[in-house]
Homo-oligomer: A and B are copies of this chain.
């Protein structure tokens, strides 16, 4: 067996997109339990809920990742999203409305940008696995959370890199939460000992980081806990999750 093949086979390095939210933290717990050598990647991209970056730092430290990189990119330059702009974040929408259309919180090409950076890091590390915590069940109508999108990125990734040219093997886009409901994700994380009080999900928290309980992200999170018969340990503003 040539040395390069041996090295690849032994590598457990992986790049994992970590937002500090419920989904990516659950995925980190799982990847850690599978003994991946996790390189966590977080973006400060001009999101209103920038406090999630601090949550990601604490979570990455708790799981003792090999390295945690925080990249600064300013997606406010292009606009096009209530998540990076000043237009109102939708609140109190029924779940049927959340699933029916692409919401204003969609950030154009965000997952493609995040995966592209992950790809660059994976190539440098010789990692073959890139973990992304997207979800096709509760995906809120985002086009870049669909299975066919992930398959297309995986195909691109191998063509885009040295490994594709030199035949050392394909890059795998791993989305272990893709077909799980929010309830199933929470149950998986709970079985892995995830402390969900450290995670942050809200698109529009108050200055102290308390969740609003009424945006789409809070709605889906709270429903997941409720369906699992669990109490969400995150902090909510008084009129938020506690009232639900």
- Write the residues of chain A forming the contact surface with B, with a CB cutoff of 8 angstroms: 69, 71-75, 77-80, 102, 106-113, 115-117, 119-121, 123-124, 141, 143-144, 146, 148-149, 152-153, 155-157, 159-162, 164-166
Q: Is the pair B123, A119 in contact by a Cβ cutoff of 8 Å?
A: no
Contacts of A79 in B (CB 8 A): 124
Known: A109-B117, A143-B165. 7 other contacts (CB 8 A): A72-B73, A78-B120, A80-B123, A113-B117, A113-B120, A116-B116, A155-B156
Contacts of A155 in B (CB 8 A): 152, 155-156
Contacts of A152 in B (CB 8 A): 152, 155-156, 159-160
Contacts of A116 in B (CB 8 A): 109, 112-113, 115-116
Q: Is the pair B156, A102 in contact by a Cβ cutoff of 8 Å?
A: no
Closest chain-B Cβ to A153's Cβ sits at a distance in Å of 6
Cα–Cα distance between A212 and B157 once the two chains are bound (Å): 33
Cα–Cα distance between A146 and B162 once the two chains are bound (Å): 12
Which residue of A113, A156, A166 has the most chain B CB atoms within 10 A of its CB atom? A156
Q: Is the pair A77, B69 in contact by a Cβ cutoff of 8 Å?
A: yes
Q: Is the pair A143, B120 in contact by a Cβ cutoff of 8 Å?
A: no
- Given the known A-B contacts A116-B109, A149-B156, A161-B143, are A74 and B72 also in contact in the complex, defined by CB atoms under 8 Å? yes
Contacts of A162 in B (CB 8 A): 102, 106, 108, 143
Closest chain B residue to A70, Cβ basis:
B77
Cα–Cα distance between A165 and B103 once the two chains are bound (Å): 13
Closest chain B residue to A149, Cβ basis:
B159
Contacts of A78 in B (CB 8 A): 69, 117, 120-121, 124
State which of B120, B149, B156 has its C-beta within 8 Å of the C-beta of A75. Answer: B120
10 A-B residue pairs with Cβ-Cβ distance under 8 Å, sorted by A, are A71-B77, A78-B121, A108-B120, A109-B117, A109-B160, A110-B120, A113-B120, A144-B161, A152-B156, A155-B156
Q: Is the pair B148, A159 in contact by a Cβ cutoff of 8 Å?
A: yes
Closest chain B residue to A143, Cβ basis:
B165
Cα–Cα distance between A74 and B160 once the two chains are bound (Å): 19
Contacts of A69 in B (CB 8 A): 77-78
Cα–Cα distance between A121 and B73 once the two chains are bound (Å): 14
Q: Is the pair B123, A161 in contact by a Cβ cutoff of 8 Å?
A: no
Q: Is the pair A143, B160 in contact by a Cβ cutoff of 8 Å?
A: yes
State which of B111, B161, B166 has its C-beta within 8 Å of the C-beta of A160. Answer: B111
